[in-house]
Structure 1
Amino acid sequence: MNFDLRFYLSLFVRRLHYFLICLAIGSAIGLTLATVLPPVFKASAKLIVESEQIPDELAATTVQTETTEQLQIIQQRILTRDSLLEMANRLQIYAARPGEVVKRLPADEIVDDLRRRITIATTGGSTRNGQVQATIVEVSFEAPTALMSATVTNEVVTLILQENVEIRTSVAGQTLEFFNEEVARLDQELATRGADILAFQERNLEALPDSLDFRRAQQSAAQERLSQVERDESIIRDRRDRLTALYENTGDIGGVNTPLSSQTAEQRQLQGLKDELNTLLAVLSPENPRVKVMQAQVAALEETVAAQTTAGFDTSPTGAPLSAFDIQIADLDGQLDFLNAQKRTIEATMEALRVSIEATPGNAITLDTLQRDYANLRAQYDQAVANRARAETGDTIEALAKGQRISVIEQAVSPREPDRPNRTAVAAAGMGGGLFVGLAVIVLLELMNTAIRRPVDLVNKLGITPFGTVPLIRTRWEVVRRQTIIFAAFAVAIVMIPALLWLIHAQVMPLDVILDRIKDKVGL
């Protein structure tokens, strides 16, 4: 198939008005946008995250938040709805400039617009070749005026510094408050557990494991004393029986060598009670009930012995002199009464020792549980006190700003030139778009046209070889009408389209906002 360049050039010339109209529309749109779009100024500020001023080996802060995480938290706090609306009202970001009519935007649109215009970018902080790079934070804001751009940028920087200080001091303060409460709670529990242990020991003073060996020794000694008393009782009873039998048989006791004891039964009993009292005082407190009972018995027996010493006992209750036999029998009966009293006392002591010894294993387990819980609680208390000391140090570090902090390297200043739009590029883009659309329209019209326009089309489509061809000849009215339509299209492209764009920008919505929404919709 031969490509007929002359024919297609002629077609391009005949349809040149389509191309020029598209070019005019694209150029008008590009020039209008380049003229109407407001300037956008972008001011930037730089911050750096500095490490702790005091080495961790000497005093560590209690704020352990990672730098990246902390910056993300700060950014989210700054970009909250309430914070952005407050800043917009305070700085009058959306206030109308002189000679300009600005519709009040809804709160949601203000928040979305500010989040789009505020940029907080973080660089560094990663390890490269074994070295950690410094974390740099760049803050910028886009505004229609250079002063507003710098003002808002510096305000965002101030908010970042304030949020950083507030977060770190708040975390340190909450940590210290937690450990203060923990120490107070554990101290109260320690006091309660200590009181429980003391109360248990007082209730079971005679059955504690630490005196078990002593009580067992007491039990053995009491058993030996009981055996000795029983032997003495058996001997005295035997003497009394022999003495009675002799007296009944002979009526005389002179042949029996039974000298009177140097002490009466009450005196010997008194001496035994005093010995036992001294033994109890070596173990128990003078305030112990058993000691007090024993002391009362000693006092009563002392009064009896004193009365016997004063009155004597060599007479009978009727006042008649006693015989030697009666004196001997009375002495032996007194000794038996004394030994019986000693037996009862020793048996009571042995019973008390037996009960306390049997209760000791259970008391030992209970006491060990109480003391183990107390020791565990004391370890927790000591750890809490140590943690509180570290928390106090960390709180002091943050209060003095000696921990990790964010410092301003470069404040934002008013830019001299707008960041965008590039008006030359916008105008060139409009002209390029019109040029491309014009060519596309011509090509599309040619692809859609299936009419026979050349002799070769007759041959190819109908198989007819013509002798000659006559071109289409338009009347004067058709020529005038065609030229009018073309000139009207040029007028619309050059005049109406810029006017319509200006009207939309001034009365409906700024074109830059419309373009931003279109870009958001298509994901640019």
Structure 2
Amino acid sequence: MTDEQAPNLSVISPLEIFAIFFRRRWWIVVPAVVGTVVALAAALLMTPAYRSQATLLIDAPEIPTGFAPPVQSANYANESVAKIREQIMSRASLTRLIHEAGLYKREQDEMSFEDLLGVMRNSIAVDLVSASGRQPSGNGNDTIAFDLSFTYSDPVAAHKVAERLVAMFLTEDKRLRTEKAVSTASFLTRRVDDLRAQMVELEVKRREVESRYAGALPDQVALSAQSGSSLRAEVSRLDAETQGLMQQNGLLAARSEEIASAPKPEFEALRTAEDRLAQLSATYSDTYPDVVAARAAVSRQREAALSSMRPSPGSGVVASEMAAARSRISSLAARRGELVGSISQMDRMTAMAPQATYELNNLERDYDNLKRQYQDVRDKQMEAQVTANLQAENKGERFSVVNAASIPGDPIRPKRMQMVAGGLFGGLALGFALVVVWEVLAGPIHGVGAVTRLMNAPPLAVVPVLGSGSTSPLFERISRFLQKRRGPPNSRRAEA
């Protein structure tokens, strides 16, 4: 035997493998039959489950886009579906459904009510449908619809509960959307009123500041500065006029004194007459003619002196001019006081201008911010009010039934043909596994190849097993075909 032929003797041949499986055929057939029977029995005995399913579409508003607020995002739709799902799957809702539809009568005696609620929750499925296809629940980014299904052993009950779930979904969706729209509109309305009240309050404060700083406002400061310059020029003019009048009065007073101090002949004549009367009275008696004449002369001179004491026409004009000048000076002083007071007031207002500007700027900034907020909130409030009206009229974004739930005809489980096929192939796999394990662990010797591998030499002769029906005709034909392909052992030894 050559080295090239040795490996062929050390490797088990396909004929031997086929012979092994043929000898152990009942090890394969029996598990296959048992697996098929068990699978068939399980398929026939398992309680069937029917699924009734409906498809709901997320509809857009029925009015034109320009007149309706923007459609909510897909995430909002997912949140809405999830929220409604939790509402429907609450303990109270499921309990009411179980009692109304008479579900799980047998299971109610076998498990607790909490476990029964868990079974029903698992029987309700909500699958989101996006524009790109079906998505796992909660993972859709562009959700346009969703499937709502219920699985139960009775198809009629499954259909009834599915319809009830669809009705609950639609009712709960309308309630939630309407409540959300109304509450949003109410909140925004209150917010608008609050902002409007704040704006009115700021307007009142602005008027108070303008009243308190009247004359010191930014638009009044420049005018006040011009007016102050004019008033100061007027004060200077009044001061100059007053100075001139005072100088004029001084001159008039000096003229009046000169007139008053000038000598009068009437008084000299009166003294002379009095001196003569005194001399005559000292010499003569009072009845003396010269004394009487002298006394009469004194009387005449006294009257003349008294007459000379009246103001002269020239002194009256001077006095009137001086009085007019004093009156003018008084009026100029009063006017000057008024002007000085106005200038002081303007200076005070000018000094207050920075504070007035600061307070007004703060009020205007707050007012502008409130006005922007008011406009934004007002726009949102109008949109929310439109949404609330649309939801009240059932014309806004909503759920609508595309495919209504129907009575299922075929159960979704068990899949009887698949179960039977699985039992058959499982039994076959088990049988083949048993044969392989037995051959590996027990190591029985079958055929020329096994003897050759163990002895490292071919046997001298092979005695066939003869017997009626001991070998299948099919097996004999396959054996002869394989022997022809391999050739007889003696011929290979001869060639070697």
Structure 2 residue 367 is the aligned partner of structure 1 residue 374: yes
Segments of structure 2 that go 5 or more residues without pairing to the other structure are 1-7, 134-141, 263-308, 466-496
**SS class of match (2:110):** coil
Give the deviation of 1:188 after TM superposition. Answer: 1.8
Structure 2 residue 69 is the aligned partner of structure 1 residue 61: yes
Give the deviation of 1:326 after TM superposition. Answer: 6.3
Give the deviation of 1:86 after TM superposition. Answer: 3.3
**SS class of match (2:250):** helix
**SS class of match (1:80):** helix
2:55: which partner in 1? 46
1:341: which partner in 2? 334
Structure 2 residue 249 is the aligned partner of structure 1 residue 243: no
Q: Structure 1 residue aligned with 2:122, among 102, 108, 115? A: 115
1:439: which partner in 2? 432
Give the deviation of 1:13 after TM superposition. Answer: 6.2
Distance 2:151 2:199 in 1: 61
Q: Residue 27 of structure 1 contacts residue 431 of structure 1 at CA under 8 Å; is this kept in 2?
A: yes
Alignment of 1:31-110 (within 5 A): 31-57=40-66, 59-61=67-69, 64-66=71-73, 68-80=74-86, 83-92=89-98, 95-97=103-105, 102-105=109-112, 107=114, 110=117
Structure 2 residue 358 is the aligned partner of structure 1 residue 395: no
CA RMSD of aligned residues (A): 3.9
**SS class of match (2:147):** strand
**SS class of match (2:383):** helix
Give the deviation of 1:184 after TM superposition. Answer: 1.5
Between the aligned residues of both structures, percent identity stands at 19
Q: Structure 1 residue aligned with 2:346, among 353, 356, 369? A: 353
2:237: which partner in 1? 228
After superposition, the Cα gap between the structure-2 partners of 1:147 and 1:250, relative to the gap in structure 1 and judged at 3 Å, is same
**SS class of match (1:243):** helix
After superposition, the Cα gap between the structure-2 partners of 1:374 and 1:436, relative to the gap in structure 1 and judged at 3 Å, is closer
Mean CA deviation greater in 207-216 or 195-204: 207-216
After superposition, the Cα gap between the structure-2 partners of 1:445 and 1:94, relative to the gap in structure 1 and judged at 3 Å, is farther
After superposition, the Cα gap between the structure-2 partners of 1:421 and 1:248, relative to the gap in structure 1 and judged at 3 Å, is same
Distance 1:219 1:22 in 2: 121
1:429: which partner in 2? 422
Letter in 1 for 2:242: E
After superposition, the Cα gap between the structure-2 partners of 1:430 and 1:188, relative to the gap in structure 1 and judged at 3 Å, is same
Distance 1:456 1:200 in 2: 118
Distance 2:249 2:342 in 1: 29
Distance 2:149 2:244 in 1: 116
Post-superposition Cα deviations, 1:259-298, rounded to whole Å, max 9, x if no partner, equal xxxxxxxxxxxxxxxxxxxxxxxxxxxxxxxxxxxxxxxx
Distance 2:394 2:375 in 1: 29
1:140: which partner in 2? 149
After superposition, the Cα gap between the structure-2 partners of 1:60 and 1:5, relative to the gap in structure 1 and judged at 3 Å, is closer
Distance 1:249 1:349 in 2: 43
Give the deviation of 1:146 after TM superposition. Answer: 0.7
Distance 1:427 1:327 in 2: 146
Distance 2:222 2:394 in 1: 63
- When normalised by structure 1's length, the TM-score is 0.64
Give the deviation of 1:194 after TM superposition. Answer: 0.8
Give the deviation of 1:106 after TM superposition. Answer: 6.4
Give the deviation of 1:458 after TM superposition. Answer: 5.1
After superposition, the Cα gap between the structure-2 partners of 1:46 and 1:227, relative to the gap in structure 1 and judged at 3 Å, is closer
Letter in 2 for 1:91: L
Structure 2 residue 216 is the aligned partner of structure 1 residue 207: yes
1:418: which partner in 2? 411
Letter in 2 for 1:169: T
**SS class of match (2:65):** coil
2:5: which partner in 1? none
Q: Residue 85 of structure 1 contacts residue 111 of structure 1 at CA under 8 Å; is this kept in 2?
A: no
Distance 2:230 2:15 in 1: 142
Give the deviation of 1:120 after TM superposition. Answer: 2.6
Give the deviation of 1:388 after TM superposition. Answer: 2.3
Give the deviation of 1:442 after TM superposition. Answer: 1.6
2:287: which partner in 1? none
Give the deviation of 1:20 after TM superposition. Answer: 4.5
Give the deviation of 1:22 after TM superposition. Answer: 2.1
Distance 2:172 2:80 in 1: 6
1:449: which partner in 2? 442
Distance 1:367 1:7 in 2: 108
1:182: which partner in 2? 191
Distance 1:397 1:330 in 2: 92
Distance 1:5 1:225 in 2: 136
Letter in 2 for 1:341: A
Give the deviation of 1:82 after TM superposition. Answer: 7.3
Give the deviation of 1:185 after TM superposition. Answer: 2.1
Q: Residue 189 of structure 2 contacts residue 381 of structure 2 at CA under 8 Å; is this kept in 1?
A: yes
**SS class of match (1:409):** strand
Alignment of 1:286-325 (within 5 A): 324=316
Distance 1:218 1:456 in 2: 133
Q: Residue 61 of structure 1 contacts residue 403 of structure 1 at CA under 8 Å; is this kept in 2?
A: no
Structure 2 residue 156 is the aligned partner of structure 1 residue 162: no
Which has the greater radius of gyration?
Answer: 2
Distance 1:213 1:436 in 2: 106
After superposition, the Cα gap between the structure-2 partners of 1:455 and 1:180, relative to the gap in structure 1 and judged at 3 Å, is closer
Q: Residue 52 of structure 2 contacts residue 155 of structure 2 at CA under 8 Å; is this kept in 1?
A: yes
Give the deviation of 1:238 after TM superposition. Answer: 1.7
Distance 1:198 1:405 in 2: 50
Give the deviation of 1:150 after TM superposition. Answer: 0.8
Number of matched pairs:
396
After superposition, the Cα gap between the structure-2 partners of 1:101 and 1:65, relative to the gap in structure 1 and judged at 3 Å, is closer
Distance 1:69 1:106 in 2: 34
**SS class of match (1:46):** strand
Letter in 1 for 2:72: T
Segments of structure 1 that go 5 or more residues without pairing to the other structure are 127-132, 254-319, 472-524
Distance 1:381 1:14 in 2: 94
Distance 1:154 1:200 in 2: 68
Give the deviation of 1:469 after TM superposition. Answer: 8.8
After superposition, the Cα gap between the structure-2 partners of 1:81 and 1:27, relative to the gap in structure 1 and judged at 3 Å, is farther
Give the deviation of 1:406 after TM superposition. Answer: 2.1
Mean CA deviation greater in 72-81 or 440-449: 72-81
- When normalised by structure 2's length, the TM-score is 0.67
After superposition, the Cα gap between the structure-2 partners of 1:134 and 1:212, relative to the gap in structure 1 and judged at 3 Å, is closer
